[in-house]
Structure 1
Amino acid sequence: MYSNELIRGTLKTIILQLLSENDKMYGYELSKVVKERTKDKIVLTEGALYPILHKLEKDKLVTVTFDTVGNRTRKYYALTESGKNSSKVKRNELFDFMETLSAFMNPKTSVQCMH
């Protein structure tokens, strides 16, 4: 599992990415998929997940619908058009950042400054 410090800045991007791949998802489903896909290296706690979902809703990047499954009502999140655009931007930004970090962490493969 990675430190909270490392994953904190990527959670919004992770959530947007999952929602872009699916029509709609509910909170527990999002956390379960993240855990499975990362082989338990990233665990989305309720305390981390729901504030991000609420902020995405407030920023009109997701819409919320309710469905009853059995005797339980689930709150589903789906991307708006703005959310789809934001997902692409955040994803590209993260890929660019990973390339930058990789170049930084592997200085022999990046261009060296001559003094």
Structure 2
Amino acid sequence: MYSKELTKGTLQPIILKLISSRDKMYGYEITQEVKKLTSGKIDISEGALYPILHKLEAQGVLTTEKVYVGKRVRKYYSVTKDGKQKVIEATKEINDFIMTLHTIFNTKPLVQ
């Protein structure tokens, strides 16, 4: 598992990209899907996830829908129409960041 310090700055783009790849997702589902996709290398805690989701919702990037599952309420998050542009920007930025890190840590640059 990667350290919290290493993954902290990438959580928002990861969450945005994951939600945008689906119609909607709820919090626990997001954490489990990230864990599954990364073979457990990235583990998003609730304490890290929900402040990001709430911030993105306040910015109008995400919208929520409450669905009753039995006696419990499940809050689903979806990317808004305006939020789709934010996903594109975040994806470009994280890919550029990965290329920059590759340049620093490897002698041969990746081909773009």
User: What's the CA shift string for 1:65-111, capped at 9, x where partnerless?
Assistant: 1001122110010001121110111011111110111011113x25x
Query: Is 1:91 aligned with 2:91?
Result: yes
Consecutive unaligned residues of structure 1, counting only runs of 5 or more, are 111-115
Structure possessing the higher radius of gyration over alpha carbons: 1
Quote the offset at 1:57 in angstroms: 0.5
TM-score by length of 1: 0.91
Consecutive unaligned residues of structure 2, counting only runs of 5 or more, are none
Query: Aligned ranges for residues 1-115 of structure 1 at < 5 Å?
Result: 1-107=1-107, 109-110=108-109
Runs (4+) of structure 1 exceeding 6 A deviation are none
TM-score by length of 2: 0.93
Question: Aligned-pair RMSD on alpha carbons?
Answer: 0.9
Aligned length: 109
Q: Percent identity?
A: 50
Quote the offset at 1:63 in angstroms: 0.4
